[in-house]
Each structure stands twice: as C-alpha cells, then as structure tokens.
Amino acid sequence: MNKRIYLHAGAHRTGSSSFQMCLYANRDLLGSMGLDVAYPGRDGVPGGRLKLRLPGPRHGPRRLGPFAQAAHEVLAQASPDETRGLLVSEENLPGRMFHFYEGQFFPASRKRLSVFRQAIGAAELHVIYVLRAYDELYTSAYRKRAEDNAVVGFDALVPQFLNMDRGWPELVAEMRDILGPARFTVLPYERRGQSRELLTKLLPDLPLSAVEPDRLLNLSATDAALEALQSHYHKGETLERADWQEIVRTHADDRASRGFAEFSEADRRSLKDRYQADLDRVAGLEGITFL
C-alpha cells in the first residue's frame, strides 16, 4: 500500500468502542477529508466491518506470510483508492486480553505487529495508543470477560496480575520498532478526554465541526449483573448476546459493590506504583510523543 494510514490501536478498556462510535458519527466529515474508515463491530458499532485475522502464540513463522497477505486484502478492500488515506481502529492489534490470566502481557504482539506492517507495505503510518493503569486494566478485562464467559474467582488470578511478565514500556517500544510509524502518540487514559478529543490528537487537522457521539458503548456491568450472569454460566448454561445484555440492563441500577473483582489495597498500590514507574519509562522512549 502506498498511502497514509492513521491507526488507533487501543488499548483495550480505554473507550475503543466509543471511539469507533465517534468515527461512525463523523464518517461523512472524515470522508470529505479524503479518508476511508475501518473498524470492527464487536460491540454493535454501526458500520463496523473490519475483520483482521492476526496470528496467536501458537502460529509459527511460516504462517505469518499468509496472515499478512490476508490482512493486506482486507485493508485494501476497505480503502481501494490509493489516493485516499485510511483510518483504522483495532484494539486487538497487539493481541487479546485473556492471556493476562496466564501472567502474559500480549505474548503474540511481535508477530501480530509484524504481520500488520507487512500488510500495509510502504504506507506512511501515524499511530495513537492509550495506556491504562494496570489495576484498572486487569479488573476491567476480567469484568468484561465475565459478561459472556464463566470465570474463576478474581482472587485466584491476582498472583498472575501481580507478576505479569512485562508491561507498557516493552509493548510501546515493540510497536515503535516494528510498525515504524512516522508519528507515534501515546497518552495515559486519564488524559484521553472525549472521543472527539482523541480523534483530534490522531488527526490534528480535524475540523471543529466534528461531533461527539450521542451514546457510549461497552460500559461495564454492575457486580449484581455479573453475579447473576456467573450463576447461569457455572450451571453450564449458554446465553445469547441479547439475553446476557438484558441481564446487564436489568441490574444496571444496582451499583453497590459486592467485591466481584477487587484488589487488596496493598496489591492495588503495588500495581499503581509499577504503572507510574512504567509511564516514566514510556515517556523516556525516543521516537514517541508522550502526552
């Protein structure tokens, strides 16, 4: 590909679905700027059709070429006109969250990033990535998985979370080195702002007429909802998406904490300290604009 690509690569649990809703709300404006837009529709975002298949830890080197070719075809279909740019939002680019439960921080990221870079060829890449505090990230990831899967008790996973094999500095450096972006902007979740603000950080020339979406997506279920859902799953029941979402809605007003997923104060502090130290390390990386 020989075009400019703007990539919002996540991270998970930092409002990615709401950002994609922002892309949908501003699709005509972005189109008038010469940009095609591609994102998945995992949480029901209208217009979400991007389906990138990227390798996992089990895939060997010989599989990477076919993955790259398939990804190239998907992206070329999303933006076939070489004179137009492409804006991609895909929070699964470095990998999926369930590896957290094994104490692994995106173990297939190097393969996946390499495949994406190969897929886009000579494209000029501009990247934005949002980091989140580890305690909040792991808790939110666990709660999200509990919405539609049976999960073990949170306490059983705390040792893996506390002893994660690596963190944000290693992943961000990997993204910089493998993707080779012309511009790479990284910011913490607390500096994200609204989705329109994040889009402006990726597209500095975004007109003031860009709008914030009128609804948010992918908000976490309450403890009451998650306990009700786990009761079904641990009985071996399978719920369709519409059914478990109805349970989430039914318990939305019961916001009392039931300790469904909580770190002890000591463990939370340990993760907060590691996050702050890692933010300093990320800020010190060359080739990155850290906000």
For residue range 230-246, what is the model confidence (pLDDT) as tens digits? 999 999 999 999 999 99
Average pLDDT over residues 60-87: 98
Average pLDDT over residues 19-36: 97
Preceding omega of 25 cis (within 30 degrees of 0): no
For residue 208, which phi and psi values (nearest 5 degrees)? Answer: -65, -15
Which amino acid appears at position 272 of this protein? K
Q: Helices 134-146 & 223-233, crossing angle to 10 degrees?
A: 50
Residue listed under structure tokens 């991270």: 11
pLDDT for 44: 87
Residue range 4-133+162-214+277-290 in CATH 3.40.50: yes
What does the pLDDT look like over 163-202, one tens digit per residue? 999 999 999 999 999 999 999 999 999 999 999 999 999 9
Q: Helices 134-146 & 154-162, crossing angle to 10 degrees?
A: 140
CA distance 173 to 277: 15
Percent above pLDDT 90 for the chain:
96
Tokens of 281: 């390390």
What does the pLDDT look like over 119-135, one tens digit per residue? 999 999 999 999 999 99
H helices of the chain, in order, are 16-25, 27-32, 64-78, 109-120, 134-146, 154-162, 168-179, 195-202, 223-233, 241-250, 265-283
Report whether 184 contacts 201 (CB < 8 A). Answer: no
| pLDDT interval class at 219 (50, 70, 90) | low
Average pLDDT of the chain is 96
pLDDT at 5 over 60: yes
Q: Angle at CA 16, nearest 5°, toward 113 and 98?
A: 60
Helix, coil or strand: residue 291: coil
Q: Could you tell me the strand order of the sheet in which 289-290 lies?
A: 35-38, 85-89, 4-8, 124-131, 183-188, 289-290
Helix, coil or strand: residue 270: helix
Average pLDDT over residues 29-58: 96
Determine whether 290 is exposed, middle or buried from the number of CB atoms within 10 Å of its CB (0-12, 13-18, 19+): middle
Which amino acid appears at position 149 of this protein? N
Domain spans of the chain?
4-133+162-214+277-290
CA distance 87 to 83: 13
Over 204-246, what HEC string results?
CCCCCCCCCCCCCCCCCCCHHHHHHHHHHHCCCCCCCHHHHHH
Number of H helices, E strands in the chain: 11, 6
Which amino acid appears at position 219 of this protein? L
Average pLDDT over residues 213-220: 68
CA distance 275 to 139: 14
Residue listed under structure tokens 């095609």: 36
Among 3, 26, 11, which Cα is nearest to 197's? Answer: 26
| pLDDT interval class at 223 (50, 70, 90) | very high
CA distance 20 to 25: 9
pLDDT for 152: 97
pLDDT at 218 over 60: no
Strands 85-89 and 289-290: unpaired
